């Protein structure tokens, strides 16, 4: 064989090996994009992790309600271990009706808790309380539900039409469009599911949602008149139908999830302003701005002059939310010729303008990702 022929054969082997490696890598990447089937063991492990993560947040926020929800997640994991027994390693799809339903509800509790942990840190005051109330009610309902059937419906999440998880609604009469995401929420061979909104005691609300679209894994709905003005729980009940051979479409056990209508927004901002006069005298003054009751608004107050020739100003502020929680910011000091601007919690901004002798606070748009 000529030297040139040997070199060509070697080059072909290298190219072939490289192609094999690339194809193998591509195949592994494609396989990695396929989510593993949900098993009982996976649901139990996720419940245990969610319990620990929620307990950690409860410890940070000193919220006993979150600690109670964390404990309930642990109880769900223990109950699932007992229910599944030696079937825990099986995919949920091949389990009997009762076990499969229990696994699906456990996984739904995990998904809702994960969404809460992602959304809650951005939420102040009444919004934060509403998120926690909605989570607690939802997990309690999932933990206490025991009904099952071949097509057991389970709601994993409530979200906006563009897939942002939602736990609470601001009061008002602006139309609200949402989606329920889950399993067995409708059957294409049957009529749309029955959808009802009630309070926590089961009384139908004056404002009822209407269904705008259905899939087995998604029900889109609209509150045409908004969430109304009354704060409290909104329980969404879905009763789908499932077609059974020789029996037609039969009603299934209901799936329930919770939202919360927040209390009306009310934020109070107080300030302490200290003027340093040119003779070195320091003159303190303080005041409270008119309450802010809507996002995207401004509140202001003028301050009387402390002396005719100020040289410096220093200001601090305290923000008090509707649920009684508060946070303080400052002290910030500047020369008398300079404006002072400082960020406050929840997207608020406080400014002091020496030229107009005005303290004003601007409210940003809604910063809580979990509230519609």
- Whether residue 3 is predicted with pLDDT greater than 90 in this model: the reply is no
Q: Please say whether the dihedral angle defined by the alpha carbons of residues 208, 128, 131 and 176, taken in this order, is positive or negative.
A: positive
The answer to whether residue 109 scores a pLDDT higher than 70 is yes
Please give the Cα distance from 2 to 320 (Å, whole number).
88
Q: What integer is the mean pLDDT of 91-102?
A: 94
pLDDT tens digit sequence for 122-180? 888 889 999 999 999 999 999 999 888 889 999 999 999 999 999 999 999 999 999 99
Reported as a single tens digit per residue, the pLDDT across 126-138 is 899 999 999 999 9
Name the average pLDDT for the chain.
Answer: 90
Catalogue the long-range contacts made by 208-215 (C-beta closer than 8 Å, 24 or more residues apart): 209/178, 209/236, 212/177, 214/185, 214/186, 215/185, 215/186
DSSP symbols for 286-351 = EEEPPPB-STT-EEEEE---S-SSEEEEEEEEEEE-TTS-EEEEEEEEEETTS-EEEE-GGG-EEE
- pLDDT class for 11, splitting at 50, 70, 90? very low
What are residue 275's DSSP bridge partners? Answer: 283, 313
Q: Are strands 358-362 and 349-353 parallel, antiparallel or unpaired?
A: antiparallel
Question: What DSSP string runs through 74-120?
Answer: HHHHHHHHHHHGGGTTSBGGGS-HHHHHHHHHHHHHHHHHHHHHHHG
Rounded to 5 degrees, what angle do the CA atoms 87, 93, 98 make?
65
For 43, residues 6+ apart whose C-beta sits below 8 A from its C-beta are 80, 92, 103, 106, 107, 110
Residue range 35-65, pLDDT digits in tens: 789 999 999 999 999 999 999 999 999 999 9
Output the pLDDT for position 18: 46
Whose structure tokens read 């099986």? 90
Q: 20: part of which helix (H) or strand (E)?
A: helix 3-32
State yes or no: pLDDT of 31 exceeds 80.
no
- Structure token digits, residue 365: 């748009």
Q: What percentage of the chain has pLDDT greater than the value 70?
A: 91
Closest by CA to 102, choosing from 121, 117, 118, 81, is: 81
Asked whether residue 32 carries a pLDDT value surpassing 60, the answer given is no
| DSSP letter (8 states) at residue 197 | E
Which 3 state secondary structure label does DSSP give 27? Answer: helix
Report the pLDDT value the prediction gives residue 22, as an integer from 0 to 100. 47
Report CA torsion sign: 176, 180, 181, 186: negative
């Amino acid at each position: 064989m000529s030297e040139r022929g040997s070199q060509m054969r070697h080059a072909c082997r290298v190219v072939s090996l490289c192609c094999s490696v690339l194809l193998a890598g591509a195949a592994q990447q494609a396989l990695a994009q396929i989510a593993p089937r949900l098993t009982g063991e996976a649901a139990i492990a996720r419940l245990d992790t969610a319990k620990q993560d929620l307990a950690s947040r409860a410890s940070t926020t000193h919220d006993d309600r979150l600690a109670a929800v964390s404990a309930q997640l642990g109880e769900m994991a223990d109950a699932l271990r007992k229910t599944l027994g030696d079937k825990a390693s099986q995919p949920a799809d091949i389990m009997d009706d009762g076990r499969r339903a229990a696994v699906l509800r456990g996984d739904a509790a995990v998904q809702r808790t994960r969404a809460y942990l992602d959304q809650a840190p951005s939420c102040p005051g009444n919004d934060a309380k509403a998120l926690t109330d909605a989570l607690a009610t939802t997990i309690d309902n999932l933990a206490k539900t025991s009904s099952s059937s071949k097509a057991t419906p389970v709601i994993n999440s409530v979200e906006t039409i563009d897939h942002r998880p939602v736990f609470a609604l601001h009061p008002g009469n602006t139309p609200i469009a949402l989606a329920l995401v889950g399993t067995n929420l409708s059957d294409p061979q049957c009529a749309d599911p029955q959808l009802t909104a009630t309070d926590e005691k089961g009384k139908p609300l004056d404002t009822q949602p209407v269904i705008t679209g259905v899939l087995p894994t998604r029900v889109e709905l609209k509150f045409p008149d908004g969430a109304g003005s009354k704060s409290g729980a909104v329980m969404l009940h879905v009763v789908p139908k499932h077609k059974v051979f020789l029996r037609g479409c039969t009603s299934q056990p209901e799936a329930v999830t919770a939202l919360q209508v927040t209390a009306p927004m009310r934020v109070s901002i107080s300030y302490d302003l200290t003027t340093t006069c040119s003779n070195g005298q320091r003159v303190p003054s303080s005041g409270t701005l008119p309450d802010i009751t809507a996002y995207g608004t401004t509140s202001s107050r003028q301050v009387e002059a402390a002396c005719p020739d100020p040289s410096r100003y220093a200001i601090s502020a305290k923000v008090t939310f509707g649920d009684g929680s508060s946070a303080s910011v400052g002290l910030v000091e500047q020369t008398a010729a300079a404006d002072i601007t400082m960020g406050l919690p929840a997207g608020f901004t406080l400014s002091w303008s020496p030229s107009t002798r005005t303290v004003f606070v601007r409210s940003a748009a809604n910063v809580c990702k979990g509230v519609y």
